[in-house]
A and B are shown apart, each in its own frame.
Chain A
Amino acid sequence: DTAVSQTPKYLVTQMGNDKSIKCEQNLGHDTMYWYKQDSKKFLKIMFSYNNKELIINETVPNRFSPKSPDKAHLNLHINSLELGDSAVYFCASAGSSGNTIYFGEGSWLTVV
């Protein structure tokens, strides 16, 4: 079983569209994250949720909205997609007793 799974893995869409990326973790972790990896492979935190509560919200356009229906899920919805949103988006999770963040396989988003 995949510990942190995200769908879809590849997504090609047109500018202006709205899209969602779903993430689920089966590790029983309390904290979930979204990271963005740009074209230069640079990784940066976008959001962090702990027990469905928003903890970290970095400087991200309002077009990006995370939603956590329960502790095991953290979805990312993006409105009005722009060319610059093309990137790899990683979901991740961490437990309250540990200090390791586990990453999903990534979602490759291409906006054309």
Chain B
Amino acid sequence: AQSVTQLGSHVSVSEGALVLLRCNYSSSVPPYLFWYVQYPNQGLQLLLKYTSAATLVKGINGFEAEFKKSETSFHLTKPSAHMSDAAEYFCAVSDRGGSQGNLIFGKGTKLSVKP
């Protein structure tokens, strides 16, 4: 069975600092991995996804994530935090490849950005 663990329910960084949000996964099949962002009172927006191509994935808003099979990790990073990055971030794994599957989500990490 697939599962996702996000380490740290709340991460706080200063504006301009490195953002690192941690995600570890467990999957019985080659995983498809996703990061979504949710701004207050809004829906989920896809940041980036890993689907067995390049292990370093670049997404929107300057975010990127690296798939490390040996560590079963898919951590999200951004070199320099901006105030507008404050949001809830969710890591997810597809329970099977392709569109017939559904997403198994982590519990989310709330990112706060201090001026």
Q: Note whether A and B form a binding pair.
A: yes
B44 close to A99 (CB less than 8 A): no
Return the CB mask of B88-115 against A: 1 if under 8 Å, else 0.
1010001001111011010110000000
Query: Given the complex of chains A and B, what is the CA–CA distance between A56 and B51 in angstroms?
Result: 22
Taking the complex as formed, is A43 at the interface, i.e. its CB lies under 8 A from any CB of chain B?
yes
B103–A45 CB distance below 8 A: yes
Q: What are the interface flags for A41-52 relative to B under an 8 Å C-beta threshold, 1 for contact and 0 otherwise?
A: 111110010100
Q: A50 to B100, Cβ gap below 8 A?
A: yes
From the candidates A42, A94, A96, A105, name the one contacting B43 in the complex (CB within 8 A).
A105
- The number of inter-chain residue pairs (CB within 8 angstroms) is 60
Is the CB–CB distance between A99 and B94 below 8 Å? yes
User: Residues of A contacting B103 with CB < 8 Å?
Assistant: 35, 43, 45, 101
B97, chain A: closest CB distance, angstroms: 6
Nearest neighbor of B42 in chain A, beta-carbon distance: A105
Min Cβ gap A35→B in Å is 8
B82 at the interface (CB under 8 A from A): no
Write the chain B residue with the least CB distance to A96. B99
Question: Contact check: which of B32, B36, B42, B108 meets A99 at CB < 8 Å?
Answer: B32
Chain B interfacial positions (CB closer than 8 Å to A): 32, 34, 36, 38, 41-46, 49, 51, 88, 90, 94, 97-100, 102-103, 105, 107-108
